[in-house]
Amino acid sequence: MLNLIKNEWLKLWSKKATWVMVVLIALLMIGSAGITKWMESQIEPSENWKQISQSQVKALEEQMAIPNLPSEEKERIGDQLALEKHRLENDVAPISSNSVKGFLNTVPEYLSFITLFTVVVAAGIVASEFSQGTIKMLLTRPVKRWKILTSKLLTVEIFATVISIIMLIFGVIGAFIFFDSAPGTNLEVLNGQIVEVSFWGRLLLLIGLSLVNVFVIGTLAFMIGSVFRSSSLAIGISIFLMFMGVNITYLLSVRFEFPKYILFANTDLSQYIGNGRPMIEGLSMPFSITVILAYVVLFLVISYWSFTKRDVTA
């Protein structure tokens, strides 16, 4: 199996497109840091963080005074109010957006580009064998089909992980090039207590949770490419669902109950972290993980059945 993965890995990195993706990620992160710094420099310095926090306290207290406020919303506002008061009373500055930590906090938002690149790789890693006519040569090797397919799937997942690490590295480089280090602390209400949150621990957690979405969409593209043996079809469908799936699910959730069982309502596990709110009321992390696993198993069953049982005509 290791030799199969190594072979797929070498084939992947022998393609110019793979290196283009790495270059684009590097340019994206360093360029985004530069643009963000430039935009920050165009904004005139305003109130310091204490004045902003005092304004937020007043606004939150006004919201708390609204009659018939839903209990869930009242709890959320109360937690935020407690955080702001804690900062003022203990002189705990928040993380500034115009700082190294501030820019690095935005890194998980860029994982949609990793999803896009993973879709391209996942869609073509099987389909390209058929389109290029190399599938028969591959299957003549004394290796079972399921092992070949597994090596390709694992290569896709490893690629997504590696390119995410590359993205983080260039994000750090861009942050230190354009921004200064500034004091700032993440706070969170946990079981009624205000606690300090590790910056790097939280950042890596959010990146890891965002990678779940990358893996799921990548597995979907992998399945479509395996079944229809067309990388363009797999890329097209996967990208459409990646951008529109969440929006369609949210619109359906306004009137129906079943959308909470739709994959795209559950792939963003970061919605359960910190002060995040689930896209659909009633969702929880255990429920979302269960739904994700069910869909992934379905995708894999279809992929393996299609690849191992169907005749090769390429």
Q: Which residue has the higher pLDDT, 203 or 131?
A: 203
Q: Given this model, what pLDDT does residue 116 score?
A: 92
Mean pLDDT of 276-304: 88
Tokens 């590790």 appear where?
198
Q: Given this model, what pLDDT does residue 51 score?
A: 83
Predicted confidence band of residue 314 (pLDDT cuts 50, 70, 90): very low
Q: Check whether 70 has a pLDDT greater than 80.
A: no
Spatial CA neighbour of 278 closest among 306, 103, 287, 15:
287
Mean pLDDT of 6-16: 88
How high does pLDDT run on average in the chain?
86
Q: Given this model, what pLDDT does residue 312 score?
A: 61
Strongest mean pLDDT among 49-63, 83-97, 108-122: 108-122
Mean pLDDT of 87-101: 86
Alpha-carbon distance values, 52 to 84, 88, 127, 131 (Å): 10, 10, 54, 58
Q: Where are the domains of the chain?
A: 2-40+97-308
Q: Given this model, what pLDDT does residue 55 score?
A: 85
Q: Given this model, what pLDDT does residue 72 score?
A: 73
Can you give the pTM of this predicted structure? 0.85
Q: What percent of the chain clears pLDDT 90, i.e. is strictly above it?
A: 34
Q: What is the pLDDT of residues 98-136, one digit of tens each?
A: 889 989 999 999 999 999 999 999 988 888 877 777 776
Mean pLDDT of 263-276: 84
